């Protein structure tokens, strides 16, 4: 029996731009975040973020969405396609900006809201074998190697028992490192992010709703056309990056060849000079041998060794 062809789904970044901002689809985003953060996430609202504003420069390379959950925390979800060597510093800046933007004047620092940064990466960031990395802030004793904890008064003030809950958290999902084997519900979401496919047997929270909502067949004609254009633009952007990289590599190679030829030419001249000097010494030695001169005198005038001179005598 022929296998049933999987339904064609839109990519997660397009869903973030067009579908997931609607309250009717909050449960999809809640499902993904609940599986990732390992807690039940309820989204209260979508907040203004960089990709809410359609800018030609950044709308292909990066898509982000910022939400506020029922705990009052801010969660930034970002999809990034192109390599950025300073990406880690950029997400640090992003969380810092959210913190400062929501901090009102004359407000105590105890009222600072937690920020969680979720980054879905389609490029290789750093060196590591895992496909999900989680970063938190802890304070460890330099001498006793113990973790600093909140005291009872701080716990009451902050409503938290752990110091790391007061600081931003970072999730790095390195899509290229996922091996396409879904062993748990979170992996089912990662599988979709990598393959744009949701299997019938997947049971992760919100994922079957995503399968229905993300179907190209269910999109209005206008949305399908807009999605097709977006995908074409992505391919064009990727082609530009590849072309510029390839051109730079070729130009670098040609420049290297030119430098190599120039250096080779210089080296050849130098080598010719050395060989010319040796040949000149040999010619002088041969003439002195023909004139019956001794090895001592030949050594004195040519700098050749006895072995070299005797070799010329035999030749």
Helices 221-290 + 295-302 axis angle, to 10 = 140
H or E segment and range at residue 80: strand 74-80
pLDDT value, residue 223: 84
Q: What is the pLDDT of residue 222?
A: 85
pLDDT at 313: 86
Q: Where are the alpha helices (DSSP H) in the chain?
A: 12-18, 26-37, 87-101, 152-158, 185-195, 207-213, 221-290, 295-302, 306-314
pTM metric for this prediction: 0.71
- What was the pLDDT predicted at 2? 47
Q: Which residues contact 102 (CB under 8 A, 6 or more apart)?
A: 74, 112, 113
In contact, 209 and 31? CB cutoff 8 Å: yes
What pLDDT, on a 0 to 100 scale, did the predictor assign at position 254? Answer: 60
Q: What is the pLDDT of residue 300?
A: 75
pLDDT < 50 regions, the chain: 1-5, 51-58, 245
pLDDT of residue 39: 95
pLDDT recorded at residue 248: 56
Buried b (16+ CB within 10 A) or exposed e, 56-84: eeebbbbbbbbbbbeeebbbbbbbbbeeb
Q: Rg of the chain's alpha carbons, rounded to an integer?
A: 34
The domain limits of the chain are: 12-217, 245-314
Is residue 94 within 8 Å of 122, Cβ to Cβ? Answer: no
Query: How much is the pLDDT for 48?
Result: 77
Q: Which residue from 172, 291, 289, 81 is spatially nearest to 306, judged by alpha carbons?
A: 289
pLDDT of residue 282: 83
Which pLDDT score, from 0 to 100, does residue 314 have?
A: 79
Nearest to 119 by CA among 101, 92, 97, 138: 92
């Amino acid at each position: 029996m022929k296998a049933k062809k999987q339904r064609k789904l839109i990519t997660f970044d397009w869903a973030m731009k067009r579908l997931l901002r609607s309250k009717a689809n909050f449960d999809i985003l809640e499902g993904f975040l609940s599986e990732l953060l390992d807690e039940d996430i309820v989204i209260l609202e979508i907040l203004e973020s960089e990709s809410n504003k359609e800018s030609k420069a950044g709308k292909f390379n990066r898509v982000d969405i910022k939400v506020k959950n029922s705990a009052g925390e801010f969660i930034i979800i970002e999809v990034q396609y192109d390599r950025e060597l300073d990406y880690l510093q950029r997400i640090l800046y992003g969380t810092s900006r959210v913190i400062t933007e929501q901090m009102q004047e004359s407000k105590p620092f105890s009222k600072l809201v937690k920020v969680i940064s979720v980054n879905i990466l389609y490029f290789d960031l750093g060196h590591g074998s895992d496909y999900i990395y989680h970063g938190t802030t802890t304070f460890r004793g330099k001498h006793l190697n113990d973790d600093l904890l909140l005291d009872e008064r701080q716990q009451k003030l902050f409503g938290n028992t752990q110091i790391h809950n007061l600081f931003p958290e970072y999730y790095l999902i390195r899509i290229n490192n996922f091996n396409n084997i879904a062993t748990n519900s979170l992996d089912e979401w990662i599988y979709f992010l990598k393959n744009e496919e949701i299997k019938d047997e997947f049971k992760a929270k919100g994922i079957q709703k995503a399968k229905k909502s993300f179907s190209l067949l269910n999109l209005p004609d206008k949305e399908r056309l807009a999605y097709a254009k977006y995908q074409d633009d992505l391919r064009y952007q990727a082609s530009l990056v590849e072309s510029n990289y390839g051109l730079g590599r070729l130009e670098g190679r040609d420049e290297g060849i030119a430098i190599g030829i120039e250096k080779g030419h210089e080296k050849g001249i130098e080598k010719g000079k050395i060989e010319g000097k040796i040949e000149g010494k040999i010619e002088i030695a041969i003439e002195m041998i023909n004139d019956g001169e001794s090895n001592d005198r030949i050594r004195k005038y040519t700098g050749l060794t006895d072995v070299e001179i005797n070799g010329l005598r035999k030749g």
